[in-house]
Amino acid sequence: MIPEIGHFAFIVATVLSLLILCLPLLQRYSLYRWQMQRTSVALMLSLTLLAVLTLAISFLTNDFSVAYVANNSNSSLAWPYKIAALWGGHEGSFLFWAAGITVALACVTFRNGLEPAFQRTVVTLLAGVNAGFNLVILLTSNPFARFLPDVPAEGRDLNPLLQDIGLILHPPMIFLGYIGFTVLFAGAMAALWRRQFSPQLARWLRHWTLLTWVVLTGGNAFGSWWAYHELGWGGWWFWDPVENASFIPWLVATALLHLLYLNRRHQALTASCLVLCILGYALALVGTFLVRSGVIDSVHAFASDPSRGFAILSLILVTVGPALAVLAWRGVPDSRKAPVSGRCGLTLLGALLTLVASFAVLLGTCYPILFKMLDLGAISVGPPYFNSLFVPITCLCALLAAMALLHGKGAWLPAAVLVSSGVATGLVLYVWPTDQWHWVGPALYTALALLFTLLVRAIQAPARLLEPRQAGMWLAHFGLVIAMLGATAVSNYESNAMVRMGPGTGRIVADHAVVYEATESVKGRGFIATQARMRVEDREGNKLTTLLPQRRTYMDDMTELTESALYRRPLGDLYLSMGPELEQGEYLMRISYKPGINGLWLSATLMMLGGLLCLWPARREEA
């Protein structure tokens, strides 16, 4: 009965979203339309949350008559993963997205201070988008569908790859970012339709863009960390199509943040900001289509139903198509020309390069699909393509950021920073030589230039860093420096060994001696595992730690997975992964030392903290 309550509540919520969309057409009751919309939004929010709650109860009570629960849970599954299984599959993740849009709709509806006509238009448009999502769920991805009368005695269990804290953190943050872009899309459409773009609206867009950027930053970082420690291959970013699907909107959000900064200073680039709001929403839907339509093969893709892909494609056409038509019909002309010189010109160029990077990643992601659709055979676009385009653009953006921050500080200071960066880069390459100097040199030089620039700014005006917004901008750019240094170190100075090992054997990797002590059998919840007991010593033979990499076999479907083991240190990780058995008692072991890998997670934390500080209202805006 509980799933039926949730299903009925969601149907009523869908009807209410259509009602909110259509209420502005009722001219006869114009005095009461807004109050009716507010009441409908409140009721719609309550019913949507009730629907989500009933699905959560179905997971917690092991109601395997619900098909979604039976396909993604098990009676022995830990309760945090039962909650996380809500968004662990296609149906639940779309329900989470739709519920998030409803919550955002309520936030916009009941917020005071927005211009009334703009607020009502945004609410109407958001309700229309919400109705589209709800209809997709009800028609193609119903999470409340039942297995009746043949109810399975036990569920199929959650995919072993998903039984990780990454499932609790990564997908919700990505979807919260997509929800933020949905709100920005509605706001941009309202501004285009009403042909108005006031400073108040610009602040509103900046706040939502910052929130979107912060959660997308965290979502991509958690996804990278999850793949790094769970998949057993030891990488942190492989330019997988599903990874790119969430990374492209982040790049657009980054460019949008800088354009909104220029708009605040010069009241220019208004139309460009609105276009990027629409573009970010469209790319979020395109990424969702790639992940869930079955057009790509990826370890991350968990849905391959063509009907669902067609429904998502229809949603893209129904929402983005009219948006482009409105943009062409009622475009908002910029009141001033875009700044092309000085600090603002450098910032604008950096934002444009970020957009170029996003389209380069999108092209590389979609090119194999287009190649296959045209019946030209199969082609693979891998990391060499993405690195050859993205790394130079990132280096150039970092250099532009350094020059923009130093603009107006005199001619000698930028020259001193550039020269100092070159000397420091030369010293690093002399102390730690590498065959990949053509990659390390530019990345290290531009990262150090930005680092020295930030240090100079901090020394020149330390009091400004006490202001939350200034501190936030400083931290976000410092996070970029840490990310560049960490990625450069782990990509070019990593030590790897793929060796055959058994009890009594050892291997030295990057000043760490790894000794294979014993092979053990371990039984866990739903799996049996072969476990290697590995002793880690330093050069002098002192024991540092014991690591326990595993090779697991899950009894439900006999899936074999590798559970890596990590010896975490501030400057780098020792990574052990256990491969298949080669001979009696001997296994293929991957031993890697990854210098600077923890800088990637630290950089994401700094960026998120910086973004949150930038949400702090300025004194003049409070006034």
The two structure tokens encoding residue 140: 């193609």
Q: Which amino acid is at 2?
A: I
Cβ pair 306, 168 in contact under 8 A: no
Question: How far apart, in whole angstroms, are the C-alpha atoms of residue 416 and residue 410?
Answer: 11
Q: Whole-angstrom Cα distance, residue 573 to residue 598?
A: 8
Render the burial of 240-251: b for 16+ CB within 10 Å, e for the rest: bbbbbbbbbbbb
What is the model's pLDDT at position 27? 66
**Residue 263: per-residue pLDDT:** 87
Q: Measured in Å, how far apart are the chain's first and last C-alpha atoms?
A: 53
CA 532, 535, 538, 540 torsion-angle sign: negative
Can you give the pLDDT at residue 622? Answer: 41
Tell me the three state secondary structure of residue 522. Answer: strand
Residue 305 pLDDT: 64
Residue 338: its pLDDT value, please?
A: 66
At CB < 8 A and 24+ separation, what contacts does 38-42 make? 38/109, 38/110, 40/16, 41/16, 41/105, 41/106, 41/109, 41/110, 41/123, 41/127, 42/106
Contact 473, 614 (CB under 8 A): yes
Which residue's structure tokens are 């973004």?
Answer: 611
Residue 157 lies in a domain: no
- Residue 168 amino acid letter: I
Q: Which domain holds residue 511?
A: 495-596
pLDDT at residue 102, as a whole number? 97
- Those residues of the chain that have pLDDT short of 50 are 619-623
| 173 touches 219 (CB < 8 A) | yes
Q: Is residue 125 a contact partner of residue 191, using CB atoms and an 8 Å limit? A: no
Query: How many DSSP H helices and E strands does the chain contain?
Result: 18, 10
Position 40 in a domain: no
In the chain, the number of structural domains is 1
Write the single-letter amino acid at 577.
S
Report the distance separating Cα 434 and Cα 440, nearest Å.
Answer: 8
Q: Residue 519: inside a domain, yes or no?
A: yes
Q: What is the pLDDT of residue 465?
A: 85
Contacts of 41 by beta carbon, 8 Å cutoff, 6+ apart: 16, 20, 105, 106, 109, 110, 123, 127
Q: How far apart are CA 185 and CA 197, in angstroms?
A: 14
Distance CA 252, CA 361 (A): 12
- Cβ count near 575 (within 10 Å): 26
Q: What are the tokens at 281?
A: 């929403």
Over the range 188-200, which residues count as b (16 or more CB within 10 Å of their CB) and which as e? Answer: bbbbbbbeebeee
Q: Is 303 helix (H, G, I), strand (E, B) or coil?
A: coil
Asked if residue 561 belongs to a domain, the reply is: yes
Residue 78 lies in a domain: no
**Predicted confidence (pLDDT) per residue in 374-426, tens digit:** 777 777 788 899 999 999 999 999 999 999 998 877 778 889 999 999 999 99
| Interatomic CA distance for residues 70 and 143, integer angstroms | 11
Instruction: Examine residue 548 and state whether it is found in any structural domain, yes or no.
Output: yes
Measuring CA to CA, which residue among 355, 338, 447, 470 is closest to residue 401? 447
Burial of 304 (0-12, 13-18, 19+ CB in 10 A): middle
Q: Is residue 622 part of a domain?
A: no
pLDDT, residue 33, reads: 85
* 122 CB-near residues (< 8 Å, 6+ apart): 108, 114, 183, 186, 187, 190
CA angle at 536 for the pair 533 and 540, rounded to the nearest 5°: 145
Please state, in angstroms and rounded to a whole number, the distance separating the CA atoms of residues 109 and 88: 30
Dmax (CA) for the chain in angstroms is: 87
The alpha carbon of residue 350 and the mean position of all alpha carbons in its chain are separated, in whole angstroms, by 21
Q: Please report the pLDDT score of residue 294 as a whole number.
A: 64
- CA dist 183 and 595 (Å) reads 40
Q: What is the pLDDT of residue 606?
A: 97
37 occurs within a structural domain: no
**Beta pairing partners, 528:** 523, 553
Q: How far apart are CA 219 and CA 175, in angstroms?
A: 9
The amino acid at residue 230 is: E
Contact 105, 126 (CB under 8 A): yes
Q: What tokens does 106 get?
A: 């309520």
CA distance 377 to 355: 30
Q: Name every residue whose Cβ is closer than 8 Å to that of residue 71 and which is 6 or more positions away in sequence.
A: 89, 155, 156
CA distance 104 to 108: 6
Please give the C-alpha separations between residue 599 and each of 35, 207, 243, 472, in angstroms, as whole numbers.
Answer: 51, 27, 19, 18
Q: What is the pLDDT of residue 620?
A: 46
Q: What's at 171, amino acid-wise?
A: P
